[in-house]
Structure 1
Amino acid sequence: MNSNHLLLEEPIRMASILEPSKPTFFPAMTKIVGTLGSKSQSVNVICSCLNAGMSVARFDFSWGDADFHQETLENLKMAVKSTKKLCAVMLDTVGPELQVVNKTQHPITLQADSSLVLTPDQSKEATSNSLPINFSGLSKAVKKGDTVFIGQYLFTGNETTSVWLEVISTWGVRNNIDFLSLSHTRHAEDIRQARQFLSKWGELSQTQIFAKIENFEGLNHFDEILREADGVIISRGNLGVDLPPEKRKFLIMIFTSRRL
């Protein structure tokens, strides 16, 4: 062959493009949301998740700092490039939840009939006798005889504990997230306020808002929340804590049979 001739690959058969799809092919209608955490942060594990069908990666900001989640996101991008699988990004907000601050991450054992101090001093170490919390106004929110429940998180149910901040930079804007999971949604107004906030950022104007129902108040306003949100997430664990035992089974039956 003349060295001046170009070597061309075999041309694409037009017939193969025009052929209809096989009748056995069905697009995946169910989307799988996978939470990426400390045990699923590596590129290899994320690749396995994508190959197994994960189509939305959830970043839970109730724990871990922005640097940790940024590293996870970069690994997700590499995994997407490697597997050639598309994956949306969901940012799960912290929400107005009160937490016990345990910086050591070691389990704590509480003794029955013993005294326990709840302190707003987050510099103190969490022990079986003293638990630092992220709410400085607890002493004013309770009185002698009140009951404080400590579950996975520390709750008061007091709306006055909300804090309004002026946001100058957010992780979600920087990374152009696809979905926003609005933790502890109580009213439709929560969705409207979140949407108004997102509209101020051009990068997030198309971000969809998922309402996360985690308490009895959100459950009471479920219908109005459903009309405002792009989707609804039911937090079974937190709802199970907030609801009396006799209503938990009934709740599961409702959301199993009801089409949203």
Structure 2
Amino acid sequence: MSDARRPGQYQVDAPPARHAVLEVLGLRCEVLHAAFGAQRFERHYHDGFSIGVVTAGANVFDYRRRRVEVPRGALCLAEPGEVHDGGLARMAWSYLDVQLPAALLRELARDVELDGVPSFAAGGFDDPSCARELVHWLQLCLHPRHDVMACEEAAVQALTRLILRHAEGVARLRLPPDDRVARLALELLHDTPHAPVALETLAAQAGASRYRVIRAVSAATGLPPHAYHLQLRLQRARDLILVGLPIAQAAAATGFADQAHLTRAMRARAGLTPGMLRVR
């Protein structure tokens, strides 16, 4: 795989090292963004899946008796218990990596009607769209004030795409839009303008998997559930401010962490701030 930049490839700056522990669907995961020198890593294994995107240089390692070379922008993956090393290119490199339990991938595979823990024969994948989704998810998680619901939704989308594209021995499913699922999920979102709604709650309401809910709502509205619901909450906050409610109270009434959180969200989507709406 070439290290040349591919069309549409994202840009990730070299980090200082960052680490975060988070929960996805109730299961503990660890995220690491780190740069390495030319040191070589001894042979080791992970208890869960290790999935990462190389953000600079190249990660070269021995995996299942093969030499794997993963350039910038591609994914590296090691399954639980598989012994491997690293840093064999003897060059500086960095990656954005997540360690996650096998039970999480098994649950997401079940969402798309697959049975068991997915297996991946290769240790590296050159798949820009998968890499972009994984980077988007993990960068959300590393933000010091990350939105839990947005992170969970991004996790489902990134990991399900990886399973559908690269897990061995499974059909590449393409689930059609489901009007009933979208309708039930959207009803709950419209009825809950005062707080974020968990993806698990939406799935239970619609009687469908998390993945199917994301697909159905996206097909119906053009936005995934979290982004669509954020728009509803912003509109509700705007209405409250326009009738004279203080901004901090409007933020609390629509499930934002504080006034600054509401301000950032509104400016990013409408180009104005809550202060510009205040009745004078």
TM-score normalised to structure 1 length: 0.24
Structure number with larger C-alpha Rg? 1
**Structure holding more strand per residue:** 2
Query: Whose RCO is larger (CA < 8 A, sep 6+)?
Result: 2
